[in-house]
Amino acid sequence: MRILILGGTQFVGRHIVEIALAHGHDLTLFHRGRTNPDLFGESVEHVFGDRDGDLDRLAGRTWDACIDTSGYLPRVVRASAERLRDVVGHYTFISTISVYADDATPHQDESAPLVALSDESIEEITGETYGGLKALCEQAVQAVYPEHSLIIRPGLIVGPQDPTDRFTYWPVRIERGGTVLAPDAPDQPVQVIDGRDLARWTVHCVEERIAGIFNATGHSTTFGHVLETCQQVTASGASVEWVDPAFLLDQGVQPWSELPLWLGEEGTGIMQADISRALAAGLTFRPLDETVTDTVAWAATRPADREWRAGLSPAREADLLAAWKEARIVG
């Protein structure tokens, strides 16, 4: 197949390219050339440009399918879909589980109500607007490709090449050993999907020209099981200190960003999505311990002085553990 990928040089897009190449597809990557511009060398065709204004650089070409990994603004996504409508037969849009209006109710399927922005013209991407903007992007794609579009709604994507550190923090921290601070929420539901599994299934769907909307949030497990798996894989001897969530909040600890996977007082519905449709369409997962093993190995290749984008710094963690110990003594 001839496949056009909007993006394709970072994380999930990168994995999609690797798998599509392994399957023998002819790939064109349209991207700005800012992230890994030389990735894949001559194995793919690179067309450099910003999708917000440079789509004419794709003129005179046809593809069997397009995979949109980099769409965040409805206006821009609609322009891309409309520009490609007559030259691409199948359009895949990578969306997000954050499109749902209700983040507390578990086991919601693809028919659940979506976030509705009060101002649909807004283009500032924040934690408050992200889900609503992605929902509008979905609607833009479906309006242009009513019968030949695939909308994929992943949740927390993890594994090698993840630039967010939202999962990587835990296996790397546990590998370091010692006492690991964690919120006392071992039973909190967690769903994670290895980016390589998401990519493999995406390519499968494109090859089969599957259309429709699919939740693709991955493994259903618990926060405690994730940390236990990290302990088993790393064999570092690290011990977990389960700390009262109320104490952590009083100390100003930010769920999700400073302690990834922990949702705090937020709804856990986004970590319990119904993925039965995707499973029926062939979505499969590798074992969690394989993801942890590969994540640790990949993280070791990064610069030692790299600034982490999520998780507690060693100093912050030590201060919190000391304060927790003092609080228990006083209490």
In the chain, list all ranges with CATH 3.90.25: 169-190+221-266+286-323
Q: What is the pTM (predicted TM-score) of this model?
A: 0.96
Mean pLDDT along residues 62-77? 98
- Give the whole-number percent of the chain exceeding pLDDT 70: 100
- pLDDT band of residue 325 (cuts 50, 70, 90) is very high
Which segments of 103-216 does DSSP mark as H helices, in order? 130-144, 169-176, 195-207
Q: Is the pLDDT of residue 260 over 70?
A: yes
CA separation, residue 31 to residues 3, 8, 34, 185, 298 (Å)? 14, 8, 8, 41, 24
- pLDDT band of residue 282 (cuts 50, 70, 90) is very high
CATH of domain 2-154: 3.40.50.720
Q: Is the pLDDT of residue 120 over 80?
A: yes
Query: Does the domain made of 169-190+221-266+286-323 have the CATH classification 3.90.25?
Result: yes
How far apart are alpha carbons 4 and 213 in whole angstroms? 20
In the chain, list all ranges with CATH 3.40.50.720: 2-154
Mean pLDDT along residues 242-262? 96
Tens digits of residue pLDDT in 5-21 = 999 999 999 999 999 99
How far apart are alpha carbons 296 and 233 in whole angstroms? 9
Which H or E run contains 323?
A: helix 314-330
- pLDDT band of residue 331 (cuts 50, 70, 90) is low
- pLDDT band of residue 268 (cuts 50, 70, 90) is confident
